[in-house]
Amino acid sequence: MIVSDATGMPVVLRSWQPADWAGTSALLEGFAVLYPGFDAWLKRTLGVGDQPKARTVVAVDAEGHIVGAAIYKPKADREKLATLYVSPEYRNRGIGTALLTWIIRDWRSRGVAQGYMTHRRGRKGGIVSLATSYGFKHIGTAIHKYGMGEHEDVYEWRDQADMATFDTPRVREGPVRRGQAL
């Protein structure tokens, strides 16, 4: 998929390949400061030297640099959007939107009805507003997840086609409201 960003420069979205390791690792190196063990997690998740444990899509600029990445993986009965990151100098050009669109389309094509993501509260970036515009809803907070006063918010996505089956009068008597427990 080719995205023409706001500057008119093409950015290509494609599935991650082992040759992308150095560029992806460099793009995401700042995460190691926030999340101890991130480097080992990234190698394991991307399948460096082994089978990948996740699906990964990268955004590559015209010069071949990886400027964005999204990692999503199966977790029990749903999938987790584990990472969505765009290099600061490439933000506000539609790349994050294109990455999330790729993921949602992939989930739908594979019949994934539910996904989720977590976000460290107080971190800058537009992921929360972007995700909520795609239907992610805040469902809870892990208090002190990263230490005293460091909380993690959890957002859930449900495919609207899936939600429609829950919100029909055939399922229960009386009026049914979206999101109401059955």
- Ordered per-residue pLDDT tens for the chain, 182 residues: 666 555 667 899 999 999 999 999 999 998 887 777 888 889 989 988 788 899 999 999 999 999 999 999 998 889 999 999 999 999 888 999 999 999 999 999 999 999 999 887 766 667 888 999 999 999 988 887 667 777 888 999 999 764 443 332 222 233 333 333 32
Write out the two tokens for 17.
Answer: 């390949």
| Side chain identity at residue 41, one-letter code | W
**2-166 CATH:** 3.40.630.30
Structure tokens of 93? 């050009």
As to burial, measured by CB atoms within 10 angstroms (0-12 exposed, 13-18 middle, 19+ buried), residue 115 is buried
User: What's the chain's length in residues?
Assistant: 182
The tokens describing 3, both together, are 């995205």
pTM, to two decimals? 0.79
